């Protein structure tokens, strides 16, 4: 079921306009009660210190940013549910984490409904223009250089985040869009405090940002990098949120805001004299009007007697994490040595990525064998490739989930394509037991680097997640561009339930293709190795994505574990930082634990409505 953004009217406190299973997502966005700020309306959000773990009652929020987590808590305190708080947190991240998220991007939303004890998902992935074909990134018969594609209108997909917000609120929320946008609008207007991460991310993008006057004006005030400790304001974004509050997301998919996006994509406003060739995109008003956020069933597998739910294709996250868990199912990781635990984790990741590359794409265009990829029979046929004293060779050939062959090594291998590594994830629970795990993105840090003039947000470069040309010419590539097609993602928002369908833990992470390995490792550290959730999130990470070398964070790379794994046959490269996870855990007696990073990306922010002493 997919939800097209068409005009509609409001009836009886809910949005009307259903037709043949389609829910529209424009119209007015206000109404539905209010979420009071920490101080009087119009005051700045109270500055709070980041803490990576919080325990208490009334609901919980975990994100990378304290102001964003506070926005979600604000909504929960005024009676909003987890969905309302998730949208409020996401909108605030669009202000404070503008290089990772915002209305110019997309994402995947996973929701647990406590009343029915069921899990639901929204695919809010960006789409290619309806005029796109498999040669979208081919120029003069050759694939376009990645750097040229990223910073261009050509890389911009139809944004899905606004439709995701409205769809989630329509389906499961209790507050209107206008209400939940208020905290973010306030932060954008009054400002937030610049930290080291924001400054360093700006510095990393400084050259690209200077190509576009509107981007430079916003993110390089007075022509300089923002100063740590200064207040950063975004009045244009505050006005954009205010417009969305009044008009609803139809302002993007059918209105003036959308027209501004189309104009910007198709004629990127490059600085005079820069000499930069920002290749124009092919986005149209028809693309925006045609866009729909998809309500779809989650992926589902079992692990150690628990039920694991995540997002189905177009993301590969649910199938790849699920397959790797199935591969690990018959290995007792709780009793394994640290070396054997990491060895099996790395090899399961390698195998699952080999199968992902061959089989997963947008199911509207590709025949994706989701059920078979998640079958225990297929996992067992792949798990027998793993031995305790040897390492598989990458790129490993995929298996055939439709016809599993024990320990089969047939087929032609294809390397894993690149994905931008910056995104953001939030996790929310409320006092009724509802849970949201939501990952949203504009692709790599800074997206396309193109700001919509006068609107205060960056546009995504999500279409670079497509294969520019077939990853292996001898094998069908399910991730080539196509008209209206969603590029494959690795986003893996996950919710784990017990045998009574009650939440155990929910989590997710940014990090491009490393999202999958981050979620997998955090789950196994928590469920198998029995680390507290905050420590499972903080544990040093490894990431194997069917490559010759496994990436290690410094704490592993510089440890004796690296030598012991090399003795088995592993090869490694150093990655300074992998992922930035958040999660929530259900505790006894109605309490929640929120957890975030201790150090990565400057540390995350965990909050609860009513902290326990």
Residue recorded with tokens 């949201």: 436
Taking residue 73's Cβ as centre, other Cβ atoms within 10 Å add up to 29
| DSSP-derived secondary structure letter, 293 | E
**How far is it, in rounded angstroms, from Cα 440 to Cα 110?**
11
**How far is it, in rounded angstroms, from Cα 147 to Cα 153?**
13
Q: To which H or E segment does residue 497 belong?
A: strand 494-497
Which CA distances in Å does 171 have to 279, 451, 556?
38, 31, 44
Which CA distances in Å does 196 have to 95, 200, 329, 600?
16, 6, 41, 12
Compute and round to an integer the Cα radius of gyration of the chain. 23
Residue recorded with tokens 């929960």: 76
**How far is it, in rounded angstroms, from Cα 14 to Cα 1?**
19
| DSSP-derived secondary structure letter, 466 | S
Taking residue 613's Cβ as centre, other Cβ atoms within 10 Å add up to 3
Which CA distances in Å does 369 have to 295, 359, 374, 402, 484?
19, 7, 9, 7, 21
Backbone angles phi, psi at 113, to 5 degrees: -95, 115
Q: Which of 583, 608, 439 is nearest to 504 (CA)?
A: 583
**How far is it, in rounded angstroms, from Cα 515 to Cα 493?**
9
Answer yes or no: 423 catalytic.
yes
Contact 503/433 with Cβ under 8 angstroms?
yes
Contact 365/485 with Cβ under 8 angstroms?
yes
Q: Which of 87, 66, 64, 65 is nearest to 76 (CA)?
A: 87
Active-site residue, selected from the candidate residues 215, 423, 439, 464: 423
Kindly state the tokens that stand for 287: 């693309």
**How far is it, in rounded angstroms, from Cα 267 to Cα 278?**
8
Length of the chain: 613
* Cβ density class 458-489: b for 16+ within 10 Å, e for less: bbbbbbbbbbbeebeeebebbbbbbebbbbbb
Q: Is 17 left (phi over 0), alpha (psi -120 to 50) or beta?
A: left
Catalytic site positions: 423
């Amino acid at each position: 079921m997919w939800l097209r953004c068409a005009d509609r009217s409001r009836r009886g406190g809910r949005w009307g306009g259903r037709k043949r299973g389609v829910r529209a997502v424009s119209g007015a966005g206000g109404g539905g009660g209010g979420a009071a700020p920490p101080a009087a309306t119009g005051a700045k959000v109270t500055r709070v210190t980041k803490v990576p773990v919080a325990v208490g009652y009334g609901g919980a929020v975990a994100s990378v940013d304290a102001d964003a987590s506070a926005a979600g808590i604000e909504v929960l305190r005024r009676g909003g549910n987890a969905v309302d708080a998730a949208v409020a947190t996401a909108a605030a991240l669009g202000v404070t984490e503008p290089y990772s998220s915002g209305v110019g991007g997309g994402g995947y939303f996973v929701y647990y409904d406590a009343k029915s004890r069921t899990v639901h998902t929204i695919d809010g992935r960006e789409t290619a223009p309806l005029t796109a074909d498999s040669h979208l990134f081919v120029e003069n018969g050759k694939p376009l250089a990645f750097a040229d594609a990223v910073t261009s209108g050509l890389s911009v997909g139809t944004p899905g985040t606004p439709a995701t917000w409205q769809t989630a609120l329509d389906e499961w929320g209790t507050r209107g869009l206008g209400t939940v946008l208020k905290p973010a609008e306030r932060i954008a207007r009054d400002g937030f405090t610049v930290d080291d991460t924001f400054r360093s991310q700006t510095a990393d993008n400084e050259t690209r940002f200077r190509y576009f006057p509107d981007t430079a004006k916003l993110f390089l005030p007075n022509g300089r990098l923002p100063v740590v400790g200064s207040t950063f304001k975004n009045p244009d974004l505050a006005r954009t949120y205010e417009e969305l509050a009044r008009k609803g997301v139809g302002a993007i998919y059918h209105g003036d805001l959308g027209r501004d996006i189309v104009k910007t994509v198709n004629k990127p406003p490059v600085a005079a004299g820069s000499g930069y060739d920002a290749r124009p995109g092919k986005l149209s008003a028809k693309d925006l009007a045609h866009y729909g956020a998809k309500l779809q069933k989650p992926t589902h597998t079992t692990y150690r007697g628990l039920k694991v739910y995540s997002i189905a294709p177009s993301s590969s996250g649910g199938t790849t994490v699920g397959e790797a868990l199935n591969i690990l199912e018959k290995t007792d990781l709780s009793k394994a040595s640290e070396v054997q635990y990491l060895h099996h984790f790395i090899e399961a990741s390698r195998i699952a990525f080999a199968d992902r590359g061959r089989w997963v794409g947008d199911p509207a265009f590709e025949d994706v064998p989701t059920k078979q990829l998640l079958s225990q029979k297929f996992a067992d046929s792949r798990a027998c490739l793993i031995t305790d004293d040897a390492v598989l060779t990458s790129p490993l050939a995929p298996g055939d989930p439709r016809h599993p062959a024990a320990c089969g090594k047939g087929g032609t291998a294809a390397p894993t394509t690149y994905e931008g590594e910056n995104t953001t994830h939030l996790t929310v629970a409320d006092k009724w037991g509802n849970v949201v795990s939501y990952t949203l993105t504009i692709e790599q840090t800074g997206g396309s680097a193109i700001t919509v003039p006068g609107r205060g947000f960056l546009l995504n470069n999500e279409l670079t997640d497509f294969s520019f040309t077939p990853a292996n010419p001898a094998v069908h590539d399910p991730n080539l561009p196509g008209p209206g097609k969603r590029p494959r993602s690795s986003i893996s928002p996950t919710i784990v339930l017990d045998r009574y369908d009650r939440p155990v833990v929910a989590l997710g992470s940014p990090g491009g293709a490393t999202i999958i390995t981050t979620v997998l490792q955090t789950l196994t550290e928590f469920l198998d190795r029995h680390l507290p959730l905050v420590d499972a999130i903080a544990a040093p990470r490894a990431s194997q994505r069917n490559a010759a070398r496994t990436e290690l964070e410094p704490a592993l790379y510089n440890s004796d574990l690296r030598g012991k794994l090399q003795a088995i046959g592993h090869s490694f490269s150093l990655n300074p930082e992998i992922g930035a996870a958040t999660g929530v855990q259900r505790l006894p007696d109605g309490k929640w634990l929120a957890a975030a990073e201790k150090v990565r990306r400057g540390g995350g922010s965990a909050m609860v409505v009513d902290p326990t002493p």
